[in-house]
């Protein structure tokens, strides 16, 4: 398999050069997902939209025949990223075959694409492979892209990596975009992690309790003095 060609650049997400493409996260298509729990997929897709808002990343969405059985986009996408641009398609299976979608990507001036899509082997993979061929640096978010079997997921990952695409998970995207906890919106990022893996909330709760106990101890010491 060939490694991704980043032309000497670091193989990490460049916040200043990135645009997020959220493709076909539709209620009907979600019903076909078997490689992961549907609620987790839905939460991860919504988390991507939220972190794009916090990072001020452009977001482009699209849906495959939303008036048919594929269903509408899940509402959390545009609720969490109200600045997202929706591009309607004319029946094209691959979003990259739609001229308006490609034009919207080019209009951002960004060359690093963060892509998630359902179904993985089609909605995520086909645009990702096509974009790499046109010179984009492409990261695909595997756990925000669902498909109908674990085997289909594994075959697709082998295919996209061979094409030069870099797979990543939702938490990995969050960490690369966030960069540091030393920021004013750190609590909002912590909340995103609780959506990606709910047990993270236990860390927040235990920390908050420890802080409360420490504060109460300081108050008692002050009173005794």
Averaged pLDDT, groups of 10, the chain, 225 residues long: 53 93 97 96 98 98 96 97 98 98 98 97 98 97 97 97 97 97 94 91 76 75 72
What is this structure's pTM? 0.89
Distance of CA 156 to the CA centre of its chain: 17
Model pLDDT, residue 201: 80
Q: Homologous superfamily of 15-178 in CATH?
A: Isochorismatase-like (3.40.50.850)
Model pLDDT, residue 75: 97
Domain range list for the chain: 15-178, 186-224
Extract the tokens encoding 136. 């984009």
Nearest by Cα to 195 from 47, 77, 76, 81? 47
Model pLDDT, residue 8: 54
Distance (Å, whole) CA 25 – CA 132 = 22
The gap between the terminal CA atoms of the chain, to the nearest Å, is 69
Model pLDDT, residue 103: 98
Tokens 């490609």 belong to which residue? 102
CB 170 within 8 A of CB 47: yes
Nearest by Cα to 64 from 74, 54, 53, 73? 73
What is the set of active-site residues? 123
Residue 119, preceding bond cis, omega within 30 degrees? yes
């Amino acid at each position: 398999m060939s490694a991704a060609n980043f032309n000497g650049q670091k193989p990490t997400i460049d916040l200043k050069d990135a645009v997020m493409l959220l493709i076909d996260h539709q209620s009907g298509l979600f019903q076909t997902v078997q490689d992961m729990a549907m609620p987790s997929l839905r939460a991860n897709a919504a988390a991507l939209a939220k972190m794009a808002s916090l990072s001020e990343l452009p977001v482009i969405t699209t849906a495959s025949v939303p008036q048919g059985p594929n269903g509408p986009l899940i509402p959390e996408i545009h609720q969490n990223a109200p600045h997202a641009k929706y591009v309607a398609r004319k029946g094209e299976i691959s979003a990259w075959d739609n001229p308006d979608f490609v034009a919207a990507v080019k209009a951002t001036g960004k060359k690093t694409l963060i892509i998630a899509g359902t179904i993985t082997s089609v909605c995520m993979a086909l645009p990702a492979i096509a974009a790499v061929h046109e010179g984009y640096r492409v990261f695909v978010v595997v756990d925000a892209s669902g498909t109908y079997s674990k085997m289909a997921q594994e075959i697709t990952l082998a295919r996209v990596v061979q094409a030069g695409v870099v797979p990543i998970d939702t938490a990995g995207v969050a960490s690369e975009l966030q960069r540091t906890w030393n920021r004013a919106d750190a609590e909002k990022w912590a909340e995103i992690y609780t959506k990606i893996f709910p047990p993270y909330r236990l860390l927040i709760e235990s920390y908050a309790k420890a802080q409360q106990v420490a504060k109460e101890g300081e108050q008692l010491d002050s009173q005794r003095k």
